[in-house]
Structure 1
């Protein structure tokens, strides 16, 4: 989750079933605050899509960002997106 500071709620290797993952996602609550997408993207790049947390090199590295609005700092967000693309990550925003 993210607003002023991003926080990872779970890693790819924390659950072994679709039901458990769906339940974990359902338990995430909206916390309000700003929309620092750049901070969330940087965290995904550094921690989220990492082999020690369940990321595998033989599958596409996809991240889905669900947001309630425009980034607080669009310039920094574009910079982080370029870094993700340079590492062949595929980000989607909803």
Structure 2
């Protein structure tokens, strides 16, 4: 059964194949949701705030990578950069573009 995953936070939605495909922070809807009042500019602003959050954001890993690289620990720097990519993608999934 096809449906829609609707973000609890933003109201944005993405199509999904089943309820099992609904990501965390979203709810399943059989009916196509109405257009959300949030615009993609609002989503971009929320994403930037989420990236920059000092505790849960992705940018903190870039600072860690720079620090590790300056200290000569290239392996730790690469690991921090990889963590940045993973967290940034999680944030993008949490705050999807409106369709």
Normalising to structure 1: TM-score of the pair?
Answer: 0.34
Bigger Rg, structure 1 or 2: 2
Q: Which is helix-richer, 1 or 2?
A: 2
Task: State the TM-score, normalizing by the size of structure 2.
Answer: 0.33
